[in-house]
Amino acid sequence: MSQAPTLPRGPARNRFLVVLGDILARPSGAIGLALVSAHLILAIIGPAIVPYDFTEMNAAAMLAKPSSAHWLGNDHLGRDQLSRVLLGGREAILVTSIATPLAVLWGGLVGVFFGLAGGRLDEVLMRIVDAFLSLPWILKMLVLIVTFGTGTEVLIPTLGFFYGIPVIRIARAATHDVVARDFVQAARARGHGRLTIIWRELLPNVRDALFVEGAMRWSWMLLAFSSLSFLGFGVSPPTPDWGLMIADARGFMSFSPMGVLAPMVCLSSLIIGINLTADALAKALGLDRARKAPV
């Protein structure tokens, strides 16, 4: 049975370069990282390169077919679809890029703490987590969003909270793998408190698992955000968003199919890129993503 590769535990910059090189050495990782990087760059420079104002309407060009002036045609309000597609990922990337670290941070800390504590407290926590995970995510989030609104100040903590709950299981499982090792027992024998053990002994050893889990949570959050926008609970018009664009254009697909296909391709390519990168990251760190967390 082959052993997982051991990466250097030296300076963070050196280790980052080693992991990045390992990801790029894998074809799937290079493709995934290229897709994610392209979307991130587009989200930053998008407003400077779009050919038209995304709010500009033209009654004479409603549902116009693709042309040299409008490469993806126009939507049902005469707006340039290319401009809106190029900007359609900005809001989703912004919201989920903040919500993902939030979910990993609070879920990881809770999972590590209770994994170290063990006993009845640990079992009670996991039953609470199981109860939350047994409910459909869309219902849980819609309750809060309908109650408090649909702004980013609501969407970010909502996504961060609900997607942090599964992180608890991953962090707890990783902690169980580490907590029985000699260096943790030695720290306990020296009289170190739980917070010290968590900070010095556990977090450095479960960090890699949390990084990979964070990458996967990011892709799922993007899908959730787009789904909420599709249902009318995400961004508000006229802000361009891929999920909202699909919802608006689905009734006109027979006249202007690019209104649905273009945002679908963009969203899919970003999700695929994140998943490919996460898989390559897991392999570079020597982690098995298929391993199940203990219950």
> pLDDT tens digits for 62-86?
999 999 989 999 999 999 999 999 9
Distance in angstroms (rounded) separating the CA atoms of residues 96 and 222: 6
Dihedral, CA atoms, 77, 88, 29, 106, nearest 10 degrees? -140
Percent of the chain having pLDDT more than 90?
53
Residue from 243, 275, 273 nearest 260 by CA: 243
Q: Is 229 inside a domain boundary?
A: yes
Domains of the chain: total? 1
What is the residue range of 219's domain? 12-49+88-284
| Structural domain includes residue 66 | no
Residue 1 lies in a domain: no
- What is the predicted pLDDT for the residue at 257? 92
Give residue 36's pLDDT.
96
So what's the pLDDT on residue 157? 92
Indicate whether 192 belongs to any domain: yes
**Is 188 among the domain residues?**
yes
| Residue 57 counted as domain residue | no
Residue 145's CATH number: 1.10.3720.10
Helices and strands in the chain, H and E counts: 13, 0
pLDDT of residue 93: 95
pTM: 0.87
Residue 291 lies in a domain: no
Q: Mean pLDDT: which of 137-151, 189-203, 207-221 is highest? A: 207-221
Q: What is the pLDDT of residue 242?
A: 95
Local confidence band at 288 (pLDDT 50, 70, 90 cut-offs):
low
176: closest CA among 112, 121, 110? 112
Tell me, yes or no, whether 83 lies in a domain.
no
Are 221 and 159 spatial neighbours (Cβ–Cβ below 8 Å)? Answer: yes
DSSP character string of 164-225: THHHHHHHHHHHHHHHTSHHHHHHHHTT--HHHHIIIIIHHHHHHHHHHHHHHHHHHHHHHH
Least confident stretch, 10-14, 105-109, 225-229, 271-275: 10-14
Q: Which of 165, 198, 195, 166 is nearest to 179 (CA)?
A: 198
Using the predicted structure, report yes or no on whether residue 271 has a pLDDT greater than 60: yes
How does residue 15 score in pLDDT terms, banded at 50, 70 and 90?
Answer: confident
- Which pLDDT score is estimated for 119? 80
Query: What is the average pLDDT value for the chain, to the nearest integer?
Result: 87
